[in-house]
Amino acid sequence: MAAVKACNILITGANRGLGLETVKQLTEDSCPKRHIFATCRDPEGPKSEALRELVKKHPGVITIIRLDADDPSSIKESAKKVGSLLGNSGLNLLVNNAGIVARGTIQTSSAENMKNTFSTNVIGPLLIIKEYLPYLQTAAKASGTPGMSCNKAAVINISTVGGSISTMPSLFSQFPVLPYCVSKAGFNMLTVLAAEELKADEILCMALHPGWVKTELGGEKVSVDVLVSFVLFLAQMWEICQNDFQIELTNTGFLKSLKLFSANNSSKFHV
C-alpha cells in the first residue's frame, strides 16, 4: 500500500469480522503517522478481546472508542472524544461498518425487528456522519488539494447486495432477511444523498459491497478468501481519487471486480 501523509481513520464495528480485520490490515503498512479510531459497542466486553490485544501491539496507532450505532447519545459522546484527540487535525476517513441482520419475510417480520434494524443500519450511520462531519470538513480544507479522495476526506459505507432492488429479489428465497434488505436499501440512498450534499465540501462518499464474507453476520458457509480479498482492496482505498481505476478480485463471493469511485461517480453503489 502506498504511504500517505498524516491521516486519521475511524471504523465502526471494529471489534470483530470485517471491521477488526480492516483495523489489522491498516496497522501493518509503513505510514508512521496513521491513527485509527476503532469503535465498538462494548470495548470492555468479551467480543472486543481481539481488538484489545491488537491495541497492545500498536498502542500508538489504535485507540478504542465506545460507539453504539443504536444510541444517539453514544454517537455524540464518541464524536466529542475523538474531536478532543484529533485536536486541530481533521478526520480523513470514516468507515460505517457496524450493522445488524434480522431475518424475516412479509409474514414474519415484526415492527420491533424493523425498527431495531433501521435504527442501527440507517439512523445510526446518518447520525455518525452528522456528528463527525466537522472533522471531515476540517480534513478536506486542510488538504490544500482540489477534488475528492480518501487521502483527503471520505465516508465509506459498507453496504451489501441485499440492498439492491434489482438483484435481491432473485436471492430472497435463499436469504429471507427482509428487515436487513430494506434497511440496506435505505442505507444506499443515504449514501447517494450524503454524496450530493457533501460534494460542495469535497468529501467523497461511496457505498461498497464486500461480497459474502465469512464473519459472525455472514455465517460460516463461505471461504475466507472473500474477506482477505476485500481487506486487501480496502487497504488500497488511499488510491481512490479523481481518476477511475479497477481492481480485479478473485474470490468465490459476489465480488468479481469493483469499479472505484471518483468525483464524477461519487455516491454510486457498485457490486
Q: Predicted confidence band at 139 (pLDDT cuts at 50, 70, 90)? A: very high
Decide if pLDDT at 256 tops 80: no
Q: Which amino acid is at 24?
A: K
pLDDT for res 175:
78
pTM (global) more than 0.75: yes
In a domain, 62, yes or no: yes
2 domain residue, yes or no: no
At residue 218 the predicted structure's pLDDT band, cuts being 50, 70 and 90, is very low
**CB atoms closer than 10 angstroms to residue 33:** 12
Total tally of structural domains belonging to the chain: 1
Residues recorded for the chain: 271
The CATH number of residue 160's host domain is 3.40.50.720
Q: Residue 194 domain-assigned?
A: yes
Contacts of 52 by beta carbon, 8 Å cutoff, 6+ apart: 43, 64
> What per-residue confidence (pLDDT) applies to 240?
54
pLDDT band (50, 70, 90) for residue 145:
confident
| Per-residue pLDDT at 6 exceeds 80 | no
Tens digits of per-residue pLDDT, 196-209? 999 999 999 988 87
With a CB cutoff of 8 Å and minimum separation 6, the contacts of 16 are 40, 47, 48, 50, 51, 215, 216
Q: What pLDDT shows up at residue 32?
A: 53
Q: Which domain holds residue 168?
A: 8-270
Single-letter code of the amino acid located at 177: V
Among 69-73, 223-227, 267-271, the range of highest mean pLDDT: 69-73
Query: pLDDT at position 26, please?
Result: 82
Helix (H, G, I), strand (E, B) or coil at 14: coil
CA distance 124 to 137: 20
Asked whether residue 260 is domain-assigned, the answer is yes
**Are residues 205 and 154 in contact, defined by beta-carbon separation less than 8 angstroms?**
yes
95 occurs within a structural domain: yes
What pLDDT does residue 215 have?
Answer: 47
pLDDT digits (tens, 9 = 90+) for 60-86: 899 999 999 999 999 999 999 999 999
Interatomic CA distance for residues 115 and 200, integer angstroms = 32
Q: Residue 43: CB partners within 8 Å, gap ≥ 6?
A: 15, 51, 52, 64, 65, 66
Is pLDDT of 137 > 50? Answer: yes
DSSP H or E run through 115: helix 111-118
The verdict on residue 98 lying in a domain is yes
Is 171 among the domain residues? yes
Strands (E) in the chain, as ranges, are: 8-11, 35-40, 62-66, 93-96, 154-158, 204-208, 246-248, 257-259, 269-270
Using alpha carbons only, give the angle 119, 122, 124 rounded to the nearest 5 degrees: 60
State the cell numbers at 109: 417480520
Task: Say if residues 125 and 67 touch (Cβ distance below 8 Å).
Answer: no
- Report yes or no on 3 lying in a domain: no
